[in-house]
Amino acid sequence: MTAAEVNSSEAKISPPSRSTTGSANVTKRLQTELMTLMMSSTPGISAFPNDENLLQWTATIDGPDGTPYAGLSFKLSFEFPSTYPLTAPTVLFKTPIYHPNIDFSGRICLDILKDKWSAIYNVQSVLLSLQSLLGEPNNSSPLNGQAAELWDKDPVEYKRLVLARHREDEETGLGL
């Protein structure tokens, strides 16, 4: 084979596509995060991939003690983009929840899931942030204005509505 033929055959070999390399990196990152979660002894949080799809997870958060959510458990969904961890996952509460920063569709207003996202965050840090948010809502940026107002003004009514919303899930079987 001449040098020209070698150069010609090398030109025909293309490197792996960016999407293939990217998805392999996402898979590796999520496998690492899953192992970290499984090995950690962080109480009140868990997350696992759905079936064989590593890009879709179901997570659970237990309500923190000393909050209106104590003793309650909440299911969430994580959907990871092909650009994760450079792009935040889409996280939704699947269990109905009454909270100033979570709307009735389960969408969450949390800066680290939006404009403050960084690749240093992971599933565990997101779950811990959400668990913390349950006890310390950001009432200056509510998705549920009524909940924000009641959190400050009427804790007894707030707790009643939290339990009513959670009970609604148990009665209708809408939770996962």
Residue from 109, 110, 113, 143 carrying the catalytic annotation: 109
Q: Based on C-alpha coordinates, what's the Rg of the chain?
A: 21
**Strand pairing report for 73-79 and 53-62:** antiparallel
d(CA 47, CA 61): 9
User: Do the Cβ atoms of 62 and 43 come closer than 8 Å?
Assistant: yes
**Strand pairing report for 90-93 and 53-62:** unpaired
Instruction: Tell me, yes or no, if 78 is annotated catalytic.
Output: no
d(CA 168, CA 176): 13
Residue numbers annotated as active site: 109
